[in-house]
Amino acid sequence: MTAILQALASGLALGAIYGLIALGFNITYATTKTFNFGQGAFLVPGSLVGVSLVLLSVGKPHFGNLSPAEMTFMAYTLATVASVVVVGLIGIALYYCAIKPFVGAAGLNWVLSTIGFGIILQNTALAIWGPASIAVPSPLGSGVYRIAGAGIRPHEVLIAAVAIAVMVGLDIVLRKTRLGKALRAVAFNPQAASIVGINVERIVIIAFVISSALAGLAGILIAPVTTASVFIGLGVALKAFSAAIVGGLTNPRGCMAGGFLLGIIEALVGLWRAEFREIAIFLLIIIVLVIRPAGLFGTKTVEKI
C-alpha cells in the first residue's frame, strides 16, 4: 500500500512532466499542423542553462557539481526562469529554421527539419557541457515527507505542483484571454484568423515559444530527479509524444491527461517489474489507438505520418 502511494507520487510527477511537453505538442500542432520532433533536445538547455547559471553565481565553472546548500530556493527559481526564457527564445530560432520554410507545404520535410534542429541543439550542448552529467540537488533537499507511511520526495511534489499550476494557467489563457482566443482562431482556420486582423505568423511564433518554453521548464524541473545532462531529453520526449497521441493531439486537456495517465502507469508497472514499464506503456498506446484512433479525448483523426 505504501509502495503504491509512493509510486503514485512519482507517477504524478513524471506524468506532469509528460503533460507539460505534450501540451507543447498540442499548441503548435493546433496552429500549424506541425510540432517539434526534436523536442527532447529542448530539455537539455532547459536543465543545463539553469544549472550552469547557479554554478556561475556561486563562483564555480559552468560545469561541475552543486552542493545542496548552493541550490537555494531562490537560485532554483531564477534557474527556472532563465531556462524557460532561453529555451523559449530557441523556439523562435526553431520556427524560422525548421518550420517556416515547410509549413503549409505538402510532405513531411518539417519532420526531418525539426529532428535536425534538435540534433544540432543537442550537439551544441555537447560541445559546451560535454557528455558527463551534473547531479542537481533539489532546493527542497533530499529528505522525504512521510505521508501515511509512504516516503514521498518533496521534489516530486514540487514538480507536480508547478506543472499543474502551469497547465491550469495555460488552460485559462487559452480559453479566456485575447491571445488564447487568437491562438484558437488560428487553430480553427488560419485564413479566417487573418481576415479578422490576426497576424497569423506572430501567433504561430508565440505557439512555438510556448511549446519550447514548456520543454525548457520540464528540463529544469526534472533535473534533480534525472540529473542534468545532454542525454536526458529523448526518452522523456518520446513518452510525452505518446501521451499527446494517447490523450488526443488536438485536445490540450487530453494531452495533459495523457501525460498523467502514462506517468502513473509507468510508475505502477515499474513497482512490479521495472523492465515491463515500456512494454506496458506502448502496449497501452497501441490498444488505445486501435479503439480510439484520435486518442482518448481527440476530435479529428490525426494526420498519418
Partner 1 sequence: MMLKIENLNVAYGAIQALRGISLEVGRGEVVTLIGGNGAGKSTLIRTIAGLVHPQSGEVIFEGQSIAGMRPHRAVALGIGHSPEGRLVFGDQSVRDNLALGAFSRDNPAEIDADIENGFRLFPRLRERQEQMAGTLSGGEQQMLAIARALMCRPKLLLLDEPSLGLAPLIVREVFEVIRSLKNQGMTILLVEQMANLALGVADRAYVLETGHITLQGTGVDLLKDPRVRAAYLGA
Q: Considering Cα of 251, then 167, then 125, then 11, what sign does the dihedral take?
A: negative
- 200 near partner 1, judged by CB under 8 A: yes
CB closer to partner 1, 190 vs 247: 190
Q: How far is the CB of 201 from partner 1 (least distance, A)?
A: 8
Q: How far is the CB of 211 from partner 1 (least distance, A)?
A: 20
List phi, psi (to 5°) of 228.
-100, 125
Q: Does 197 bind partner 1 (CB under 8 A)?
A: yes
Q: Which residue in 5, 126, 162, 198 binds partner 1 (CB under 8 A)? A: 198
CB of 187 to partner 1, least distance (A): 8
Residues numbered 125-164 forming contacts with partner 1, rule: CB under 8 A: none
Contact track, partner 1, 167-196, x by CB under 8 A: -----------x--xx-xx--xx-xxxxxx
CA separation for the pair 42, 233 (Å, rounded): 7
Query: C-beta of 170: minimal distance to partner 1 in Å?
Result: 17
DSSP-derived letter for residue 134 is B
**Cβ of residue 54: shortest distance to partner 1, in angstroms?**
40
Across 218-239, b (16+ Cβ under 10 Å) vs e yields bbbbbbbbbbbbbbbbbebbbb
CB 218 within 8 A of CB 211: no
Classify 241 as helix, strand or coil. helix
Q: In this complex, which beta carbon is closest to partner 1, that of residue 146 or of residue 176?
A: 176
Report CA 236 to chain centroid distance, whole Å. Answer: 8
Task: Give me the residues that bind partner 1 (CB under 8 A), please.
Answer: 178, 181-182, 184-185, 188-189, 191-200
